[in-house]
Amino acid sequence: MRTAQHPATRHWRHAVAPGGLPLAGHALLMGRKPLQFLASLPAHGDLVELRLGPRPVYLPCHPELIQQVLVNARVYDTGGPVKEKAKPILGNGLITSDWADHRRQRRLVQPAFHTARIAKYAEVMERECEAESTAWTARRPIDVSHEMLALTARVTARALFSTDMAPHAVAEIQHCLPIVVEGAYRQAIDPTGLLAKLPLAANRGFDDALARLNQLIDRMIDDYKASDDGDRGDVLSALFAAQDDETGGTMSDQEIHDQVMTLLLAGIETTASALTWTWFLLGRNPLAEAALHAEVDEVLGGRAPRYADVPRLAYTQRVFSEALRLFPPAWLFTRTTTETTELGGRRLPPASDVLISPYVLHRDPALFPRPESFDPDRWLPERAKEVTRGSYLPFGGGSRKCIGDVFGMTEATLTLAAIAGRWRMRPIPGTKIRPRPQMSLTAGPLRMIPEPR
């Protein structure tokens, strides 16, 4: 285990990542096998420098250095080329805003995620999980990725907009979101920025899906304003009601639009990917699967799970936490320095890009013994306190920590319990699956067979 020392007194190990080429630097390695390449770097140093084309970028591998970056949001702001490319899609919302405006936005959006509101969204989760777990046919294979994405899209859409228009919204979101997410990722990794401008079918599909999502959000906003329902208990009502304690300001329609788009893009695929990985891991770990079934049977006794059951579904939560460790959907995110600063004894000029990779951190054997093994009991309270502070970051950290963490954990716990109460998810022998490090760390199609329990 790594020991904590005062950052100023510590001797940090710097390294340049091996394998760089004269012009491309490490861009090819990053393009071909980003997970393997990045995960090999902590062995070289606490702060590793790599070059993506001409630009040096820095990967802090030690939890203390990562914390320094995450808690100092003014100096390490979100930024850089990836954020610029996201702005036409996400507008100016929580993910794309600069540090100063982010604080104001966060004060306005946070009330939509208070505990009392999560309890309300959980009613949607309960209903949708029940519908999902009763819709399957015994022994007919399903694509788990597809099912989990459809479920999290329904939950998020109905938590955002709880009106009669919800079924239409769900269908639009299910159709458009994967196209937008895929297109956004293609644009994010295109170093030339030209790809999006070419008259390709994929670009037309992306433009069409994005326009449809934008129209949908506008219609929901118009519908809310035209009705005099007041607080419907959904996210949209909370965004309209939000008032800044410090300034008394509220959000304009455009700002609400951008926050809704941000929540759709940040909340659906992430949770679905993590749930898919969870079923994959359970399929390969019969002991963990049996322990999950035992807990669900004991807590629920054959009925559907309710929000009030969540605290007692402790093993279920540990299973999900461990899946988030091995396959964190947000496998990589970035910060850009706004001024000259120093990280781990190294001077970083303004506009330096810093990569934060929960995937790398979570698989470092110095932080997690036997990192490759799926061991939900790492998260038993007595063992979890041995985990080095700051080494588990599935939801990020600092002021930009995921606003939907409790929403996502609640949704995942109810989903796992609802399905595990009815079905054993049998893997199909020979099924090959490899992590796809895209916008989130997805599993691709995963066929499994639901067997009645």
State yes or no: residue 395 binds ligand HEM (CB under 6 A): yes
- The reply on whether position 79 binds ligand HEM by CB under 6 A is no
Q: Which of residues 88-147 bind ligand HEM (CB under 6 A)?
A: 94-95, 106
CA-CA distance, 443 to 128, in Å (whole number)?
A: 22
Q: Do 240 and 166 touch, CB atoms closer than 8 A? A: no
Nearest residue to the partner ligand HEM, using Cβ: 404
Our finding on whether 396 is near ligand HEM (CB under 6 A) is yes
CA dist list (Å): 175 to 3, 103, 140, 146, 202:
48, 33, 24, 12, 15
In the complex, what is the shortest distance from the CB of residue 19 to ligand HEM, in angstroms, rounded to a whole number?
27
Q: What end-to-end distance do the CA atoms of the chain give, in Å?
A: 41
Q: Does 407 bind ligand HEM (CB under 6 A)?
A: yes
Using CB under 6 A as the binding rule, whether residue 267 contacts ligand HEM is answered as: yes
Query: How many residues sit in the footprint of ligand HEM (CB under 6 A)?
Result: 24
Residue of 223, 221, 206 whose CA lies nearest to 257: 221
Query: Facing residues of 451 across strands?
Result: 424
Among 65, 291, 343, 403, binds ligand HEM (CB under 6 A): 403
Cα 354 to chain centroid, rounded: 19
Burial group, residue 305, by CB count within 10 angstroms (0-12, 13-18, 19+): buried
Query: Closer CB to ligand HEM, residue 266 or residue 319?
Result: 266
- Round to whole Å and give the CA distance between 190 and 106: 30
CA distances from 35 to 53, 382, 423 (A): 18, 30, 32
Of 190 and 405, CB closest to ligand HEM: 405
Give the residue with the Cβ less far from ligand HEM, 305 or 328.
Answer: 328
Among 408, 421, 437, 450, binds ligand HEM (CB under 6 A): 408
Rg, the chain, Cα only? 22
Q: In the stretch 246-265, what mask flags binding to ligand HEM with x, by CB under 6 A?
A: ----------------xx--
10: contact with ligand HEM by CB under 6 A = no
Asked if 276 and 442 count as a contact pair (C-beta separation under 8 A), the reply is: yes
- Strands 436-437 and 441-442, sheet pairing: antiparallel
Nearer to ligand HEM, 26 or 325 (CB): 325
Considering beta carbons, is residue 44 or 232 the nearer one to ligand HEM?
232
Q: Quick one: 227 exposed, middle or buried, by C-beta within 10 A (0-12, 13-18, 19+)?
A: exposed
- Token pair 């695929």: residue: 269
> Which is it for strands 47-52 and 14-16: parallel, antiparallel or unpaired?
parallel
C-beta of 395: minimal distance to ligand HEM in Å?
5
**CA–CA dist 348, 56 (Å, integer):** 10
271 binds ligand HEM, rule: CB under 6 A? yes
274 binds ligand HEM (CB under 6 A): yes
**C-alpha to C-alpha distance for 268 and 14, rounded to whole angstroms:** 37
Site string for ligand HEM, 212-251 (x = CB under 6 A): ----------------------------------------
- Is residue 354 a contact point for ligand HEM (CB under 6 A)? no
CB of 296 to ligand HEM, least distance (A): 20
Q: What φ, ψ does residue 312 adopt, rounded to 5°?
A: -85, -10
If one asks whether residue 63 binds ligand HEM (CB under 6 A), the answer comes out as no
Q: How many CB atoms lie within 10 A of CB 43?
A: 12
Of 191-199, 293-301, 360-368, 396-404, the segment contacting ligand HEM by CB under 6 A is 396-404
Task: List the alpha helices (DSSP H) in 72-200.
Answer: 80-90, 99-109, 115-135, 144-160, 166-189
Site string for ligand HEM, 320-349 (x = CB under 6 A): ---------xx--x----------------
Q: Which residues bind ligand HEM (CB under 6 A)?
A: 78, 94-95, 106, 156, 262-263, 266-267, 270-271, 274, 329-330, 333, 394-396, 400, 402-404, 407-408
